[in-house]
Structure 1
Amino acid sequence: MRYLLLHTPAWDPGSVRPALEGAQIEMRETRLPRDLAVDERPTVFVLDSESRSVFPLDVLRAFVDAGGGIVALGRNGEADVPPEIPAELLSGFVRQPAGQRQLLVAVRAGYREASARMETARARSEAASRSREIGELTRIGVALGTERDVKTLLDLILTQARRITSSDAGSLYLVELSEQGQRRLRFRLAQTYSKPEAPFVEFTMPVDRASLAGYAAVTGEPLVIDDAYFLPPDVEYSINRSFDERYGYRTKSMLVIPMKDHRDEVIGVLQLINRKRNFEMVL
């Protein structure tokens, strides 16, 4: 079943049971407040009027905060949400007598809200994880200004950064001065787990906002990109697809990190490409 519907023993799904089961909704009785919990699936609680006193507001609020949706059933003659239940806790309110379609509409609305809350929680968790990763990578970058064996360190940084973020590929750029004294980025290292045969060709590029690495070097801020092929139309940077086109690769998610020294100056840029669930998986 794709969804979970919790209800008290006082409420009988009755005639709506076949429709709920047809929508892949599992129904489960919830007798006590401690049993009111969100599943890994979108979860809705049908709160009948007789059971309002059983489930305190703090329990209902915790259920909603955890990502659940609540559909309250009214008493006979109750035309609106009762004052003892805050309206912001409810995904729907069904007057009595409730029609089958009316109840199904309210339950579906509850699942939409529950799904949205679960996605918000997932996004927050992902953002927190990325923030921790960025902190770890920045600390790695501090060592770049003090390590003498630069070649060994660069390989260590990129390998460890890819492992921390479970990234399939990565590249590393160092900031240097040209003969004219202008800052530029030198492409120093690349790793692509799924395309180990791809040769490495060193080159330089300007430190400007036109490229992802250049933008991170100019602003000193990281970039988190869900799909590099579909960037927002108002951004200044773009992706170079030449590697993808030449070797049949597909760059999608990217994390672009400016590497800073102990003086907080950008001395390099780390690009991590195509995060995956299993680090050893070939894309």
Structure 2
Amino acid sequence: MTDVAVAGPDNTSSAPLIVHSEGFGDHPAAAAVADVEVERRGVSRTQLGDLLADAERTRPLLVVLDDDMLPETGKPALAAAPERPAPLRFLGVTERDLVGDSSLADDELCAVFAPTAEPARIARAVRAALRELRLEARSLDLERELRVRSAQVHELNRIGVALSTERDYERLLDRILHSLRELTAADAGSLFLVEDAPQGQKLLRFTVAQNDSIETPALVRFTMPLNTKTLAGYVGVSGEPLNIPDVYNIPDDTPYSFNKGFDERTGYRTQSMLVLPMKNQQGDVMGVVQLINKRGSEERLPEPPHLCRDIVPFDLLATELSTSLTSQAAVCIENNALYEGLSNNIQELKDTQAQLVQSEKLASLGQLTAGVAHEINNPLAFTRNNTHLASERINSAKRRLQVTKWLDELDEPSFERLRIADELLESLSEDPALREDVKEVQADLSSLGENQRLEILGQFMDYVSQAKEMQEGNLIELMGRVQTLLDESFIGLGRVAEIVRGLRNFSRLDEAGFQDADIDEGIRQTMMILREPAREQNVNLIADLGLTRTYPCFPAKLNQVVLNLVNNAIDASPAGSDVTVTTRERDGNVEIFVRDSGHGIPEHIRTKIFDPFFTTKPVGKGTGLGLSISYRIISEHHGKIAVDPNENGVGVVFSIRIPVRQPGQEEPGKSGSEQTTQAAVAEVQ
């Protein structure tokens, strides 16, 4: 990541502090404490309570209690001090008896020495107490971080679900920016999308702007070149985030600069800025998000000149969270476009089919809908099942972590451990494998005393931990299986995206001009659409495709011819037989063969099958336009289509030959094109 300056994550704890009386420097034990390289602070007896309650509540403290720090009763002034989030220890250097002092918790008083004790012993005790403080502070930090991370993952999942279900494109973009600002406490923000421009150039389009502190002018969507001169352009080109504490103090040696125009027009003061790329799963930058002015505390920034003091830099945690969310957002934008494209393609199919004879239209639409729906439902069902299994395993890992934590927290009060254990038993009862065991344990516990309950609970939790590890492996192995499930789910979703792209390519009705196209790929997509009708007939589709490059053709129309021929072959073939599509280049021609194992076509009607409205199918199942339109499409390619008996005498083979080099390689006259436009959606003879 490229940073002008990056603020580190917030520290909830800091280095330990030794607190002693103001006159401790003259104490016999002072030399032992002075040898320890830790910050020390001298306070009066009355200042100790204030210190514990206010300034150093989040800092681990070691308080050295000598006679000057203790009142006449022998108890330090701690009663008014509230509960501290950081650990606290006391070390006595006095003749007084502190062990029975009710104002000091047993685990807080680490040692008591006589003032005349050997300094080396006191120094060792001080170092041991400091080590204990550091360990406890680190443990508390980890617990806090775990809670924060868990809440963040939950929030990211919630936002991800909300974004993935938004179908309105404009609302989706608005929600993406709002969610990122909410997640990072940004006062304002803007969103740019990357667009293609002529001559292969890229542009950034300003799309969404939000600001909580001022009324923004009406949004004017504009474009600007995608280059490194602007902050958004730099991130769009490099694909790396920028985290800038103050955009008015960007070093002169950077390639980018901040545009002050908005601030000058509105009186707003931009300071901290986090600029993030939105990358899809292929790593391509689809857009750029600018998050502006992270709020320190206020929900709305005050008016200048006090504005800057309430703004803080975006920290590393904000960068990590927003980077994760921008990746989800990019996928949501891409999926939204795929969904919209699929909707548009379906609408195109419907509009074009209105030009066909009604029965032809209904047959084709039913065929496409059944095939595509089946192909999409299969990977979706697989993904849904994997997601369910992953969720179960994550829940199991969560319960195992809770059990391990309960077993490790031996210092908790008994009543608190019992309360947590009751909640944990309820959670474990959700596991079918443990449900009966949990019921038995709960029944056994009802009549036992506190110590017996803790003993039985400890044995049961040990059993659960060991049983789950034997059943599921360790947590790393379990998470590995979860990752495998998620990876497989991504493969399933990729299959859905592939199907949608295939349908989109197949249905491109605007490809009227000649162009170089992958004929084999078009045939694969066509056979994919017909896979379900073939399954219903128990017919095997076989692709023997041997073309190795692109060829000039009308790709959508050529796909339509293959669709007609393969669909007819499926109808004519008996259950258990094969329909084979073969391609090759030979003698200056692209050759396409469609073979079936059906009952064949009598010789006396072979010369009629390409006539308009000629059909051998029952009334209502075909209009007789399919082969006629196919014949015209092949003629547009200056090619030939013919039908002959198979070499083995079973079924027929339709052969298509198209010249590799088309005359002039120009689009034929409009009359022929208009006559065949209506054939660009599935026609069945």
Q: TM-score range by the shorter chain?
A: 0.5 to 0.7
Counterpart pick for 2:287 among 246, 268, 275? 268
Partner of 2:608: none
The alpha carbon displacement at 1:262 in A equals 2.3
> Residues 167-182 of structure 1: matches in 2 within 5 Å?
167-182=186-201
1:132-178 per-position Cα deviation (integer Å, ceiling 9, x unaligned) = 89xx59x96xx79x975321110000111110011110000000012
The alpha carbon displacement at 1:281 in A equals 1.7
The count of residues paired between Structure 1 and Structure 2 equals 197
Tell me: CA distance 1:165–1:14, structure 2 relative to 1, closer, same or farther (3 Å).
same
The range that moved more, 241-250 or 230-239, is 230-239
Determine if contact 2:21/2:43 at 8 Å carries over to the other structure.
no
In the alignment, is residue 245 of structure 1 matched against residue 264 of structure 2? yes
Distance in 2 between residues matched to 1:205 and 1:6, nearest whole Å:
58
1:227-267 per-position Cα deviation (integer Å, ceiling 9, x unaligned) = 11111332211110000011001111111110011222100
**Corresponding residue SS for 2:293:** strand
Structure 1 unaligned spans of 5+: 37-47, 68-120
Partner of 1:60: 130
Taking only aligned residues, the RMSD between alpha carbons, in angstroms, comes to 4.1
Distance in 1 between residues matched to 2:223 and 2:132, nearest whole Å:
54
> Residues 1-283 of structure 1: matches in 2 within 5 Å?
6-7=18-19, 12-13=24-25, 29-30=63-64, 35=89, 49=119, 51-57=122-128, 59-61=129-131, 149-278=168-297, 280-283=299-302
The alpha carbon displacement at 1:66 in A equals 9.3
1:33-80 per-position Cα deviation (integer Å, ceiling 9, x unaligned) = 9617xxxxxxxxxxx9462021235x435657999xxxxxxxxxxxxx
**Corresponding residue SS for 2:292:** strand
Distance in 2 between residues matched to 1:280 and 1:34, nearest whole Å:
34
If you compute each CA radius of gyration, which structure gives the higher value, 1 or 2? 2
Distance in 2 between residues matched to 1:175 and 1:208, nearest whole Å:
11
Distance in 1 between residues matched to 2:131 and 2:18, nearest whole Å:
15
Determine if contact 2:270/2:293 at 8 Å carries over to the other structure.
yes
**Corresponding residue SS for 2:181:** helix
Determine if contact 1:163/1:279 at 8 Å carries over to the other structure.
no
Structure 2 unaligned spans of 5+: 1-15, 28-40, 53-62, 66-86, 91-114, 303-685
Tell me: CA distance 1:268–1:5, structure 2 relative to 1, closer, same or farther (3 Å).
closer
* TM-score, scaled to structure 1: 0.57
**Corresponding residue SS for 2:214:** coil
Distance in 2 between residues matched to 1:151 and 1:199, nearest whole Å:
16
Whichever residue aligns with residue 176 of structure 1, its letter is: E
Partner of 2:355: none
Partner of 2:545: none
Partner of 1:113: none
Distance in 1 between residues matched to 2:290 and 2:250, nearest whole Å:
16
Tell me: CA distance 1:174–1:247, structure 2 relative to 1, closer, same or farther (3 Å).
same
Determine if contact 2:23/2:42 at 8 Å carries over to the other structure.
no
Tell me: CA distance 1:14–1:272, structure 2 relative to 1, closer, same or farther (3 Å).
same
The alpha carbon displacement at 1:218 in A equals 0.9
Tell me: CA distance 1:217–1:60, structure 2 relative to 1, closer, same or farther (3 Å).
same
Determine if contact 2:187/2:293 at 8 Å carries over to the other structure.
yes
Determine if contact 2:274/2:292 at 8 Å carries over to the other structure.
yes
* TM-score, scaled to structure 2: 0.25
**Corresponding residue SS for 2:221:** coil
Distance in 1 between residues matched to 2:205 and 2:124, nearest whole Å:
68
Distance in 2 between residues matched to 1:66 and 1:274, nearest whole Å:
35
**Corresponding residue SS for 2:180:** helix
**Corresponding residue SS for 1:229:** helix
Whichever residue aligns with residue 12 of structure 1, its letter is: F
Tell me: CA distance 1:64–1:218, structure 2 relative to 1, closer, same or farther (3 Å).
same
More helix by share: 2
Distance in 2 between residues matched to 1:10 and 1:225, nearest whole Å:
44
The alpha carbon displacement at 1:196 in A equals 2.0
1:101-157 per-position Cα deviation (integer Å, ceiling 9, x unaligned) = xxxxxxxxxxxxxxxxxxxx9xxx9xx99xx89xx59x96xx79x975321110000
Distance in 1 between residues matched to 2:285 and 2:198, nearest whole Å:
20
Distance in 1 between residues matched to 2:260 and 2:136, nearest whole Å:
41
Tell me: CA distance 1:163–1:10, structure 2 relative to 1, closer, same or farther (3 Å).
closer
Whichever residue aligns with residue 182 of structure 2, its letter is: R
